Amino acid sequence: MAHLEYTGDTEKIIDAKFDRMGQRFHTCRIFFYLIGLFFLLNSCGNNAPQEQKDTIDSGTIYISADESFKPVIDSEIQVFQSQHRQARIIPFYKPEAECIKDLTIDSIRMVIITRRITEHEENFIVDSFKLGPQSLVIAKDAVAVIVNPSLPDSVFTMGEVRQILTGRFKENLIPIFDGIHATSTVRFIIDSVLHGDSLTSKAMAARTSEGVIDYVSKNPNSVGFIGISWIGNHDDTTQQSFLKKVKMVSIESTDVPDHYVLPWQANIYTGRYPMTRDLVYILKEKYIGLGKGFANFLSGEQGQLIVKRAYLWPTQMNFNIRVTKLNE
């Protein structure tokens, strides 16, 4: 496009013409503006879509959940939707840090992760959405350690676990996680097991927890760290197939020296298994809607029984532990 160049005299002529044209144009512009405003207001009044709010047992919402808990959350959603045919809960399974980011997204109604939100995160939600988030611990989970069946060692002390994680173990065992960055398992290992010590540079990552199981089953020198809900349910046929490919390691108990325990429910509840963590929902909802309905379900009897059947420990119901003896 060429540039237009004007001389001084030409500019004066043009200015005079535009003064006369401008007066007529200004009058027309006001006229058309009023007509346009009339049609706009009329359109908004008659055809604007009304906001469709979900209810406590109907509608559609989106949630984000830590990928470590996909099996149990899938079960919770399946049962809830079977009882509420008009309800649809669409989950996105992500690393924990990505779930935290989703708290800033208006369309994500709930996140399910392994920690409560910080004061800073809560203040951001209050300021951004003008609501107070609700949170509740609905279960206790354990980080299970899995190895290839060919590995002779099937018991570790926590000292040995830390040596594996930092690359100082006597054997060349490589830790593998469901993602090196931003996952709840990696955060738990660094914060609660290594206490700030550095993870070995040899540590590897799979895309998912199932990927960790698959890798360990094919690599005898690897040690996997995954949530117990992926491997602990002996009633689940898929998890039974996993247990044929890998084996779980017993870890030294927190209460009895030289005594080793698996991450079973009773050991999670009593804290005898040393690597346990919470499962928390965080709800951000401006009204009592489907998010609240699902939250009530998670903390209610049926939701807690699903947690129990997934071999996590339910925190919102009381279950008795009975001591039994098996005759061999």
Q: What is the pTM of this model?
A: 0.78
Mean pLDDT of 117-131: 93
pLDDT of 14: 30
Confidence check: pLDDT of 119 > 90: yes
Whether residue 182 sits in one domain with residue 66: no
Question: Distance (Å, rounded) from C-alpha 37 to C-alpha 235?
Answer: 66
Mean predicted confidence (pLDDT) in 137-142 = 96
* One domain, residues 66 and 86: yes
Whether 159 contacts 305, CB under 8 Å = no
> Looking at the structure, do residues 92 and 201 belong to the same domain, yes or no?
no
218 and 97 in one domain?
no
Q: Same domain for 172 and 294? A: no
Clarify whether residues 75 and 112 are in a common domain.
Answer: yes
Query: For 3-34, how does the pLDDT look when each residue is reduced to its tens digit (9 = 90+)?
Result: 223 233 333 333 333 344 344 444 444 444 44
pLDDT digits (tens, 9 = 90+) for 41-94: 444 444 333 355 899 999 999 999 999 999 999 999 999 999 999 999 999 999
The answer to the question of residue 146 being in a domain is yes
Question: Is 216 strand, coil or helix?
Answer: helix
Tell me, yes or no, whether 78 and 164 share the same domain.
Answer: no
CA distances to 135, 235, 239, 264, 292 from 229, in Å: 21, 12, 9, 11, 24
Dihedral sign computed on CA atoms, order 110, 89, 242, 309:
positive
Mean pLDDT of 128-132: 92
Q: Is residue 72 part of a domain?
A: yes
For residues 159 and 238, state if they share a domain: yes
Mean pLDDT of 240-246: 89
Lowest average pLDDT, out of 8-22, 53-67, 123-137, 199-213, goes to: 8-22
**Most distant CA pair in the chain: distance in Å?**
113
Instruction: Quote the pLDDT of residue 13.
Output: 31
Using one digit for the tens of pLDDT, what is the confidence trace for 152-197?
888 999 999 999 999 999 889 999 998 766 789 999 999 999 998 9
Which residue, of 246, 261, 276, is where some domain finishes?
A: 276
Residue 265: per-residue pLDDT = 92
Residue 49 lies in a domain: no
My answer on whether 186 and 84 are in the same domain is no
Q: How many domains does the chain have?
A: 2
The full length of the chain comes to 328
Phi, psi of 264 (to 5 degrees): -80, 170
Residue 310 Cα to chain centre, angstroms: 18
| pLDDT value for 28 | 43
Higher-confidence residue of 196 and 219: namely 219
CA distance 61 to 54: 8
With respect to residue 39, please indicate whether it lies within any of the assigned structural domains.
no
Query: Is 63 domain-assigned?
Result: yes
**What are the tens digits of pLDDT across the range 255-307?**
998 999 999 999 999 999 999 999 999 999 999 999 999 999 999 999 999 99
* pLDDT for res 233: 80
Is residue 231 in a domain?
yes
Asked if residue 16 belongs to a domain, the reply is no
Q: What is the CATH number of the domain that holds 114?
A: 3.40.190.10
Task: Give me the pLDDT at residue 25, please.
Answer: 40
Residue 252 has pLDDT above 60, yes or no: yes
Looking at the fold, whether 236 and 285 belong to one and the same domain comes out as no
In this structure, are 164 and 249 located in the same domain?
yes
Model confidence at 202: pLDDT above 60: yes
Same-domain pairing of 64 and 131 = yes
**In terms of residue numbers, what domain contains 96?**
59-140+277-314
Residue 92 within any structural domain of the chain: yes
